[in-house]
Amino acid sequence: MKILTIKNYILPLFFIIVSASLFSQGLTENDLTTNHVLVKKWNELTERSELRASSITDTISLDTVRGILDDFSYTGPYPDTALWLDKQVFINRGYGRSPVTIGTATFDGLDANGYPYDFMALPTSSSSADSLTSKPINLKYYLHNGNPVNYTLLDSLYFSFFYQPQGNGNAPEPADSLVLEFTAPGLSSWKTIWEKAGTTIAATDSSWKLVMIPIKNPAYLQKGFQFRFRNYATISGNLDHWNIDYVYLNKHRVKTDTLFEDVSFVYNAPSLLNTYTAMPWNHYNSTFMKSTVSNVLRNNYSQPKNVNFYYKIYDQTGTPIASSLVTAANVLPFSSSGYDSYTAASLPVIPVLTDTSKYLFETVLKSSPDLKRGNDTLRRTQDFSNFYSYDDGSAETAFGLSTLNAQMAEKFTSTIPDTLRCIDIYFNPVLTNANLYSFVLNVWGDGGGTPGTAIYTGDSVVNPYYTQTGRDQFIRYYLNHPLYLSAGTFYIGFTQKTTQFLNVGVDRNINTQDKIFYNVSGGWSNPPFPGSLLMHPVFGAAHYFTGINTAAAKSSSITVYPNPANDKLFIKFNSGASEKINYSITDLFGRVVLENKSNMPEYIDISSLSEGVYFIRITDGTQAVSNKFIKVN
């Protein structure tokens, strides 16, 4: 069943009632509404005015050796403009399950900007959605010894691709479909060449199917031939997924030409850390480094291939700081032996850290000959800033509860005493104004492997905010006061004050479901679904958070003056701010030195404070603003 909600429109009352009644108990795995990777990229390109479309007048020719080949192993999130004309399809490494080569093109119900084509489309409907259209291709002639030679049917042109329904996403229904079409100059319209009705993914890797199509119609042998893929889907959400891989057009092929002399990685590089994908820099030590790293490989040829591996680590300036070379054994053919793997036991080590850092970990395999080099390199950024995470930062699904006072939590273990300042959460968008969707932040101690006694409970109700701001659309929720935690196990999460689904994004590619807990009736349980919550605890000294606003904070709505200040600090309320405001003032060490949990007075008396730098955090229940000021005598 598709669980959909509506953005920018009034949510129908019957839908609220039906959703709550159908899923009133337990934890539910829900479909996503948007794609936050595309939303972020679209906004970045819009701000830089870089949303230029490919020129449709460009005509490309078949490479003399490789023909036209796209395995979607590049970063994306949009298709390569050297080959494709449109942007709706999502290029990624997360939705394809056990792909032919790393990276797939994913079709869904979202536009290029990451939002639904039509928020009001019914969950049972199926409409034309994404397109992936090639540039015009020269199938009239090719150059041989510098001379043009016309293509004929004797050149045995074949078009092939692999496809997979659902993958790590949502299964397309039988009314949905994936379609391949051809056209050429002089033809009145696109002609359907192949189509497939929606279905659930098979339980094995054989769910990837190869399609081989000979080009036998002379009408296509022109300068300006094009092909395109289209899908039919529910266009009100991130739904009805199809993945395609290894789109290949070339001459001198035959129907049995189903193997490619190409060894590829299958998945992204794993974290270099034993437990986490990211951790605060001052919590790190070398014992957190993995002693081995395994990579899954696929040899798409009929014979074993000898592969060499190279590992390098670069600091955030791009300078190599460590490297190693490992010569691997042969990689066996997938057609006879399935996926292969290589485990490196000699890894470069990240040094002791003295500040926030990011390191680029690069893994390269080299084999010769190799049809596609782009799938031979993995690059992973190892983040040492101020938060812990288990996920890769990208959601393929969401977990939600629809019971009043239900709780969701995630387990972490810190290595040193430190101050917890915030909790970053990615909520799957439901409504622009989600006033019905409310919760209270919580931090729990360890209760013997499950959340124990609450050591922090927010003193105000907060809401999900669906904005295009923040780190990859994670929304930062500040604690009402900094929370000092000893080294050891703790749990972050929330208690919901609604019967609506609070859908937290889930990464399906990394499974830490043993670290996730939910409570709907007095006892904690792990979820029945695999994945990692996109929820992060954020640590650090107060000066790291100077001037940063929390969820949906309007930095212009409240002004603190004068700065520097002597004995009084005044608050100016601009448009949109409530004058019923609470405040807390902390010093550079995060200690609360003044606070007021009643209504804001006319001014704040700071005469008792010593000279120095302080931080004031002002909240009105729906937003929070942080400001730095200097106290002088």
Q: Is 333 part of any domain?
A: yes
Domain boundary at 509, 540, 571, which? 540
pLDDT of residue 55: 60
Task: Specify whether 372 is located in the same domain as 404.
Answer: no
Q: Is 380 part of any domain?
A: yes
pLDDT of residue 11: 33
Question: Residue type for 550, please?
Answer: T
Task: Specify whether 501 is located in the same domain as 438.
Answer: yes
CA distance 602 to 243: 60
Strands 191-197 vs 104-107: parallel, antiparallel or unpaired:
unpaired
pLDDT of residue 66: 77
Q: Is 234 exposed, middle or buried (0-12, 13-18, 19+ CB in 10 A)?
A: buried
461 or 53, higher pLDDT: 461
Helix (H, G, I), strand (E, B) or coil at 47: helix
Q: How far is CA 197 from CA 171, 178, 415, in A?
A: 11, 7, 51
Which residue shows structure tokens 């189509």? 195
Task: Specify whether 272 is located in the same domain as 247.
Answer: no
Domain of 623, CATH number, reads: 2.60.40.10
State the DSSP string of 492-557.
EEEEE-SSS---EEEESSS--GGGEEEESSSSEE--SS--EE-EEEEE--GGGGTT---TT--TTS
Task: Specify whether 236 is located in the same domain as 140.
Answer: yes
Instruction: Kindly tell me if the per-residue pLDDT of 468 is higher than 50.
Output: no
Task: Specify whether 203 is located in the same domain as 336.
Answer: no
CA distance 412 to 388: 8
**Element (H or E) spanning 330, and its range?**
strand 320-331
Task: Specify whether 60 is located in the same domain as 200.
Answer: yes
Task: Specify whether 272 is located in the same domain as 242.
Answer: no
Task: Specify whether 117 is located in the same domain as 200.
Answer: yes
Task: Specify whether 534 is located in the same domain as 578.
Answer: no
Contact between 235 and 134 under an 8 Å Cβ cutoff? The reply is: no
**Sequence-distant (≥ 6) Cβ neighbours of residue 483 within 8 angstroms:** 419, 420, 421, 443, 455, 456
Q: What does the H/E/C string look like for 143-181? A: EECCEEEECCHHHCCEEEEEEEECCCCCCCCCCCEEEEE
pTM above 0.95? Answer: no
Q: How far is CA 294 from CA 3, 99, 265, 362, 481, in A?
A: 36, 17, 11, 13, 42
Rounded mean pLDDT of 302-330?
Answer: 84
Q: Which stretch of 102-116, 317-331, 352-366 has the lowest confidence by average pLDDT? A: 317-331
Q: Residue 523 is part of which domain span?
A: 397-540
pLDDT of residue 590: 65
Task: Specify whether 531 is located in the same domain as 599.
Answer: no
Band the pLDDT of 471: cuts 50, 70, 90.
Answer: very low
pLDDT of residue 132: 98
Q: Is 14 part of any domain?
A: no
How many distinct structural domains can be found in the chain?
4
Task: Specify whether 214 is located in the same domain as 113.
Answer: yes
Q: Is 609 part of any domain?
A: yes
Q: Is 18 part of any domain?
A: no
Task: Specify whether 474 is located in the same domain as 597.
Answer: no
Rounded mean pLDDT of 512-519?
Answer: 97
